[in-house]
């Protein structure tokens, strides 16, 4: 093993000479290659008539390549996806040449690489994933030489966008609330609507007495309207039963709008 360590160094030097020394950790690749060399020495069978260097080089290249794949992405992707992606790109280029410049369809590409369309889509989607640092500074391509003054980061951009989306969602919820209240008044009596608004916290808190706000209990609603709790509960349940059939279609629209705001 000691006398063949130069083979590991030779494989790692290929990445360094190609300008990838700063992108990958050469020490990690050396360790992986050395472990592969030890594994090759354990499994080597001289009786087969092959030289040890020929046999060990296969193990070293596979280990260094695997280390390079793991270091190339922050979120690791299985090695088989890397191999499938390279094969898909190669076959796609060949098919495009044979089809006269036309891009092959997913079905044609799947038949050529012996993979289903779903497998190809999953592989391409996994390899297209990109990761960006939140501390990365945003470069203005229109003014590349404007210096480092007042440069925003990805974190600040996302934070501003989140605040803008929050204001937009707040306004959308306000419109939905008003639309829902108008719908209730179209189908129920004013007293029934007031009970529902108080019970589920849709009533404007500025119109409520001090100390009342948000969704109220049956007892609190009964004290505000001057009715017994049992009667309030029956009236609310009857109103909900009526609404279940009266605005079933409109309620589906409300639910879809709420899902888009979450």
Nearest Cα neighbor of 132 from 111, 155, 115 is 155
Distance in angstroms (rounded) separating the CA atoms of residues 243 and 125: 45
182 and 157 in contact (C-beta within 8 Å)?
A: no
Res 240 pLDDT > 70: yes
CA distance 200 to 36: 66
- Beta pairing partners, 137: 153
- For 145-164, b where at least 16 C-beta lie within 10 A, e where not — what string? eeeeeeeeeeeeeeeeeeee
Contact call for residues 29 and 8 (beta carbons, < 8 A): no
Sign of CA dihedral 133, 134, 140, 141: positive
Q: What is the pLDDT of residues 33-74, one digit of tens each?
A: 888 888 888 888 888 878 888 888 888 888 887 777 777 676
Taking the alpha carbons of 48, 53, 59, 61 in that order, is the dihedral positive or negative?
negative
Distances (CA, A) of 196 to 12, 183, 221, 235: 72, 12, 9, 9
Q: Per-residue pLDDT tens for 198-232? A: 888 877 777 777 777 778 888 888 888 888 989 98
Q: CA nearest 204: which of 178, 229, 227, 183?
A: 178
pLDDT, residue 6, reads: 83
Q: Is the CB of residue 12 less than 8 Å from the CB of residue 63? A: no
């Amino acid at each position: 093993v000691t006398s063949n360590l130069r083979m590991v160094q030779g494989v790692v030097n290929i990445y360094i000479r190609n300008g990838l020394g700063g992108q990958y950790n050469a020490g990690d690749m050396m360790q992986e290659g050395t472990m592969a060399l030890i594994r090759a020495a354990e499994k080597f069978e001289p009786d087969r008539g092959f030289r040890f260097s020929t046999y060990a080089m296969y193990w070293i290249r596979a280990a260094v390549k695997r280390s390079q794949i793991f270091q190339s992405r922050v979120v690791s992707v299985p090695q088989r996806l890397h191999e499938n992606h390279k094969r898909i790109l190669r076959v796609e280029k060949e098919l495009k040449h044979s089809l006269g410049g036309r891009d092959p369809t997913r079905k044609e590409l799947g038949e050529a690489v012996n993979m289903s369309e779903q497998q190809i889509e999953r592989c391409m989607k996994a390899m297209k994933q990109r990761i960006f640092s939140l501390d990365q500074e945003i470069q203005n391509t229109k003014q590349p030489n404007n210096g480092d003054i007042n440069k925003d980061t990805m974190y600040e951009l996302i934070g501003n966008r989140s605040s803008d989306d929050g204001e937009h969602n707040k306004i959308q919820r306000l419109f939905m609330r008003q639309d829902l209240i108008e719908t209730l008044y179209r189908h129920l009596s004013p007293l029934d609507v007031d009970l529902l608004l108080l019970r589920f916290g849709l009533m404007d808190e500025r119109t409520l007495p001090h100390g009342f706000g948000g969704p109220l209990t049956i007892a609190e609603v009964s004290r505000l309207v001057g009715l017994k709790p049992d009667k309030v509960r029956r009236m609310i349940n009857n109103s909900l039963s009526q609404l279940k059939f009266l605005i079933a279609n409109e309620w589906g629209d409300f639910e879809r709008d709420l899902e888009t705001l979450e």
